[in-house]
Amino acid sequence: MNPLLTKLKDRFPDAVLAVREEGPYKDLVAQVKPSALPAIARFLHDDPETAFDMLSDILSVDYPEDEDRFEVIYQLKSLPRNHRLRLKARVPEDNPTIPTVTSVWKGANFLEREVYDLMGITFAGHPDLRRILLPEDYEEGHPLRKDFPAEGRGWRSTFPFLPRLDEPASPAVAAGEIPEEQHRPFLKEAEGLPEDAQPVRRQEELLLNMGPQHPATHGVLRVVLELEGERIVKATPDLGYLHRGVEKLCEGLTYQQIIPHTDRLDYVCSMTNNYAYVRAVEKLLNITVPPRAEYIRTIVAEMQRIIGHLFWLGTQALDIGAMTVFFWTFREREVLLDLFEKLCGARLTLNYYRIGGVDSDFTPDLVQRLHAFLDTFPDHLREYDDLLLTNRIWLARTKNIAVISAEDAINFGCTGPVLRGSGVAYDVRKAEPYGAYDKVEWEVPIGKNGDTYDRYWVRLEEMRQSAKIIRQCLQLLPDGPIIADVPQVIPPPKQKVMRDMESLIHHFIIFTQGFKPPKGETYCASEAPKGELGFFIVSDGEPKPYRLKIRSPSFVHLGAFDHMARGYLIADTVTIFGTYDIVMGECDR
Amino acid sequence: MAVAQWVKTLTFYEILVGMKATITVLIQRIILRNRKAITLQYPHEKRELPGTYRGMIALLRYDDGTDKCVGCDLCESACPSRVITVISSEVEGEPMKRYAKEYYMDMTRCLFCGLCVQACPVDALAMTTEYEWAKYNKRDLRLNKEQLLALGDRNFPVREKKLEFQHPNVAYFNIGHKNLPPKES
Ligand code: SF4
Ligand code: SF4
């Protein structure tokens, strides 16, 4: 038994119900009483031996058959000790209440709101328990509960406002004019003002809506700013405009059907999403990937990181007002996208990774073009440096803007460049190496001040490191198969399907029913360009996941938005959106 | 050191460095003309797409004009967003042979993931390089079998040869085991 679990059990003999190591990878799990949660959380956070300073994720699973219906799961991560723990607590259906842990980890604020929203579990003592992804007046219940139909309530073609494809078109609404009645409410209000309502000079805080349709919000995000003059007093992000219920959707799909859906989470970097997801499934199935596939995966993921960071650099510079950088970064991005297109036939939604390997192999032509790109890439990075690195406008807009200290960043659960900009050298690729990352040489760049400029610098440096990783991987690239040979799980090659009865049977079964992983649950984190992207899968032995939770960095980062925006100017909000590198598709899921 | 810094600040040195980068490109492009434009004047110019491109999906035929599809429904069950509807039926007079009587694809919801192509056991589906399919009416994007076959004819002029038992799994549908080609060992 792991000493950590023993210690926890000894310290709280009554409150800790069970401790165990789960699965082939020995994930540490502790089942605790919900009432004792704050004390245990405090202990785990403060004790120097456990030192769980980061809360990766909170999620809940619904087991309608069980006595205590809901299970709330806390994924903890310790940066100094580099270990993880899954803390679980059960709450009954008639009183689904559990104490909040926001006093221990500030990042719990958004995560608990999400659980409240989607599963209907109340967190006693939470400072602001409202729905977060769904609209606040949503009355249909909590969609992640098992009694909520996976189809949704009423499906697409039963909504009267959506034309059905198999019916003739209804007569078009008269040429797009807004009818008079719809103007009324606004007019009435203006007319209804009392005659003597003279404007008086007064002082008050101003509420300003930023978004959802604002070009710099990187998608559809609305932030309600409370202003004093131009200074931000409080910023409340309002999410969920892009909520598609991917987690619920995945409960109705087989494991390999989910891969194309992960493309659409962070649509700027879909390779790394694919990677994070297939790694989680492979961990669940406990299959090993052939070495060539590992190298190809690493190369492709790093290409995607360069693309993601180039995209970020261009848009952040554009938000701040530098136009040229945007065009130039897109020029380089295009080269890599062309390579992706050659490799797998798509540019953005790639669907390239497969469970157990990858879809297609590198061709010599592709490798050569990649080398050519790597040869010129440092020069291009130098060009961006010429434009930005010491530019006084850029410095004025980024230095000392949105500063977050290392402790706060960890406490909010920030990961990726946002955390490293504050000087914390945490990178999943180093801390829990996967792929070929432990076979090549590279460094984790870190910043000092935790401001926007440092995060910019960290990302630029990461691109250089990525280029270095790709170069080494290309040199080391071994020969061999690109997909593992596990006929129960991985569809056999097409040529065999055409010739071999047994392959044909496997092929039919995998595509009609899907494969059945063993019962169990697993959490697997990978380093996406935006931060730690984690997939948590609960399998009940069926071909479809019982519950799939996506820990998306953008969502967690937005939890720190209020903290980072306070005291800065309105004009800085776009900088702050940009500095997280948020993508709302991933944030809202 | 401090003097140099002052001079740099007063002369807008770093801005000049940045301007040099942009102006060099401008001169190369417009005066020297030794730098090619990277953008394309779409739709007048079009990119060359690789053969692996995942565009519109098409149904294929054999060289004698019969459809390859055997109506096995695998594509329908492999599709993650329920694009495909197959209604299969027996070939008249040959009760053990099946074909897709009707075949619909609702392209408004297709993810272009290519899983259906991977699932099809007889390679009856393929992805073309067509992509300009914007329509005014979304009903036009629910393609039927004829449209899908037309797409295939247009994009894949070279058709695969039909050998009666070329694919043992077709033979499997027809229970024609005796003519199986030799198995790969
Ligand atoms: S490409 Fe994907 S989404 Fe489209 S029909 Fe095929 S399987 Fe379905
Ligand atoms: S999988 Fe292929 S053969 Fe089967 S129904 Fe689909 S297109 Fe036809």
Q: What percent of chain A has pLDDT over 90?
A: 4
End-to-end CA distance of chain A: 37
Cα-based angle A447, A453, A457 (whole degrees, multiple of 5)? 55
Task: Name the burial class of residue B85, with classes exposed (0-12), middle (13-18) and buried (19+) by CB atoms within 10 angstroms of its CB.
Answer: middle
Nearest-angstrom CA–CA distance, A112 and A120: 10
Does B39 map to a domain? no
Q: Provide the β-strand partners of residue A222.
A: A238
Does B44 map to a domain? no
Instruction: Put the strands of the sheet holding A231-238 in their side by side order.
Output: A206-210, A222-228, A231-238
Nearest by CB: B139 against A169, A257, A331: A169
Residue B169 in this model has a pLDDT that exceeds 60: no
> Omega into B43 within 30° of 0, i.e. cis?
yes
Residues 120-149 of A with CB under 8 A from B: none
Does B51 map to a domain? no
Asked whether A53 and A78 are in contact (CB, 8 A), the reply is yes
Cα-based angle A223, A161, A215 (whole degrees, multiple of 5)? 25
Does B78 map to a domain? yes
Nearest-angstrom CA–CA distance, B96 and B103: 20
Nearest-angstrom CA–CA distance, A205 and A208: 10
Domain with residue B152: its CATH number is: 3.30.70.3270
In this structure, the answer to whether residues B20 and B87 fall within a common structural domain is: no
Position A203 scores a pLDDT of 61
Neighbours of A441 (CB within 10 A): 8
Does B154 map to a domain? yes
Q: If you take atom 8 of ligand 1, which residue's CA is the nearest one?
A: B79
In this structure, the answer to whether residues B26 and B77 fall within a common structural domain is: no
Residue of B nearest to A350 (CA): B113
- Could you write out the three-class secondary structure of A70-95? EEEEEEEEECCCCEEEEEEEEECCCC
> What six digits make up the tokens of A361?
């192999």
Chain A positions in Cβ-Cβ contact with residue B121 (cut-off 8 Å): 497-498, 504, 507-508
Q: Provide the β-strand partners of residue A207.
A: A226
Confidence of residue A321 (pLDDT cuts 50, 70, 90): confident
Residues 146-185 of B with CB under 8 A from A: 167-169, 172, 181, 183-184
Q: Kindly give, in sequence order, each residue whose CB lies less than 8 Å from that of residue A208, ignoring residues fewer than 6 positions away.
A: A224, A225, A227, A570
Confidence of residue A171 (pLDDT cuts 50, 70, 90): low
Mean pLDDT of B157-175: 54
Using alpha carbons, select from A160, A168, A174, A158 the residue that is nearest to residue B139: A168
Position B177 scores a pLDDT of 35
Each residue of A126-156: pLDDT tens digit?
888 888 888 877 777 788 888 887 766 655 5
Residues 199-228 of A with CB under 8 A from B: none
Cα dist from A410 to A426, A430, A523, whole Å: 10, 17, 20
Nearest-angstrom CA–CA distance, A567 and A233: 6
Handedness of CA A132, A135, A141, A146 (dihedral sign): negative
Chain A positions in Cβ-Cβ contact with residue B111 (cut-off 8 Å): 260-261, 263-264, 349, 351
Position A33 scores a pLDDT of 86
Nearest-angstrom CA–CA distance, A405 and A402: 10
Each residue of A39-61: pLDDT tens digit?
888 888 888 888 888 888 898 89
Radius of gyration of chain B (CA): 28
Residue of A nearest to B140 (CA): A165
Position B178 scores a pLDDT of 34
Position A519 scores a pLDDT of 87
Nearest-angstrom CA–CA distance, A448 and A287: 40
Confidence of residue A516 (pLDDT cuts 50, 70, 90): confident
Residue of A nearest to B18 (CA): A387
Residue A19 in this model has a pLDDT that exceeds 50: yes
> Omega into A290 within 30° of 0, i.e. cis?
no
In this structure, the answer to whether residues B66 and B109 fall within a common structural domain is: yes
Backbone phi, then psi, for B84, in 5-degree steps? Answer: -100, 140
CB–CB contact B115 A387 (8 Å): no
Position A160 scores a pLDDT of 58
Each residue of B57-101: pLDDT tens digit?
888 888 777 788 888 888 888 888 888 888 888 777 776 777 788
Chain B positions in Cβ-Cβ contact with residue A384 (cut-off 8 Å): none
Mean pLDDT of B130-147: 85
CB–CB contact B15 A351 (8 Å): no
In this structure, the answer to whether residues B18 and B101 fall within a common structural domain is: no
Q: Which residue has the higher pLDDT, A153 or A125?
A: A125
Continuous H helices in A255-359: 255-263, 270-285, 291-320, 323-344
Task: Name the burial class of residue A411, with classes exposed (0-12), middle (13-18) and buried (19+) by CB atoms within 10 angstroms of its CB.
Answer: buried
Each residue of A199-223: pLDDT tens digit?
555 566 777 788 777 766 677 888 8
Cα dist from B23 to A29, A186, A345, B17, whole Å: 60, 51, 36, 10
CATH topology of domain A3-124: Beta Polymerase; domain 2 (3.30.460)
CA A240 to centroid of ligand 1, rounded, Å: 27
Residue B171 in this model has a pLDDT that exceeds 50: no
Amino acid A343 reads L
Which site among A383, A497, A544 would you substitute to test the B interface, given the most B Cβ atoms closer than 10 Å to its Cβ?
A497
Mean pLDDT of A405-426: 88
HSE of B85 in the Cβ direction (CA atoms, 13 Å)? 10
Taking each helix axis from N to C end, the angle separating A323-344 and A291-320, rounded to the nearest 10 degrees, works out to: 160
Round the average pLDDT of chain A to a whole number and report it: 82
In this structure, the answer to whether residues B66 and B111 fall within a common structural domain is: yes
Chain B positions in Cβ-Cβ contact with residue A166 (cut-off 8 Å): 142
Cα dist from B131 to A83, A334, B128, whole Å: 48, 18, 8
Q: If you take atom 2 of ligand 2, which residue's CA is the nearest one?
A: B120
In this structure, the answer to whether residues B21 and B83 fall within a common structural domain is: no
Chain A positions in Cβ-Cβ contact with residue B19 (cut-off 8 Å): none
Based on the structure, what is the number of domains in chain B?
2
CA B117 to centroid of ligand 1, rounded, Å: 8
Nearest-angstrom CA–CA distance, A403 and A563: 9
Residues 500-519 of A with CB under 8 A from B: 500-501, 504, 507-508, 511-512
Residue A517 in this model has a pLDDT that exceeds 60: yes
Asked whether A354 and A483 are in contact (CB, 8 A), the reply is yes
Does B46 map to a domain? no
Report DSSP state, residue A401.
S
Range of the domain at B14: 2-31
Q: What percent of chain A has pLDDT over 70?
A: 90
Asked whether A207 and A192 are in contact (CB, 8 A), the reply is no
A477 touches chain B (CB under 8 A): no
Position A306 scores a pLDDT of 92
B28 touches chain A (CB under 8 A): no
Report DSSP state, residue A159.
S
Mutate to test the pocket of ligand 2, among B79, B122, B170 (most ligand atoms within 8 A of CB): B122
Nearest by CB: A261 against B80, B123, B137: B80
Three-state DSSP class for residue A144: coil
Mutate to test the pocket of ligand 1, among B54, B84, B109 (most ligand atoms within 8 A of CB): B84
- E strands, A504-565, in order: 520-528, 531-539, 547-551
Does B36 map to a domain? no
- E strands, A405-460, in order: none
> What six digits make up the tokens of A28?
């540490």
B5 touches chain A (CB under 8 A): no
Does B19 map to a domain? yes
In this structure, the answer to whether residues B81 and B165 fall within a common structural domain is: yes
CATH top-level class of A246-557: mainly alpha
Position A288 scores a pLDDT of 87
B170 lines ligand 1 (CB under 6 A): no
Using alpha carbons, select from A352, A249, A261 the residue that is nearest to residue A300: A352
Residue A479 in this model has a pLDDT that exceeds 70: yes
Each residue of A429-465: pLDDT tens digit?
888 888 888 888 888 888 888 888 888 889 989 999 9
Q: Kindly give, in sequence order, each residue whose CB lies less than 8 Å from that of residue A96, ignoring residues fewer than 6 positions away.
A: A69, A70, A119, A120, A121, A122
Each residue of A153-167: pLDDT tens digit?
655 555 555 555 566
> What six digits make up the tokens of A500?
């071999």
Nearest-angstrom CA–CA distance, A13 and A453: 48
Residue of B nearest to A514 (CA): B78
Q: Which of A374-383, A454-463, B14-23 has the lowest mean pLDDT?
A: B14-23
Using alpha carbons, select from A471, A418, A524, A467 the residue that is nearest to residue A305: A467
Alpha-carbon gap: A279 to the closest alpha carbon of chain B (Å) = 19
Q: What is the pTM of this model?
A: 0.85
Q: Kindly give, in sequence order, each residue whose CB lies less than 8 Å from that of residue A154, ignoring residues fewer than 6 positions away.
A: none
Handedness of CA A573, A579, A583, A586 (dihedral sign): negative
In this structure, the answer to whether residues B85 and B158 fall within a common structural domain is: yes
Nearest-angstrom CA–CA distance, A313 and A581: 9
Mean pLDDT of A164-178: 54
CB–CB contact A349 B123 (8 Å): no
Nearest ligand (C-alpha, residue B67) = 2
Asked whether A562 and A236 are in contact (CB, 8 A), the reply is yes
B128 lines ligand 1 (CB under 6 A): no
Give the burial string for A327-342 (b: 16+ CB within 10 Å, else e).
ebbbebbebbbbbbbb
Three-state DSSP class for residue A567: coil
Residues 346-385 of A with CB under 8 A from B: 346, 349, 351, 360, 383
Nearest-angstrom CA–CA distance, A567 and A571: 12
Instruction: Using the structure block, give the residue that is written with the tokens 């598609």.
Output: A244
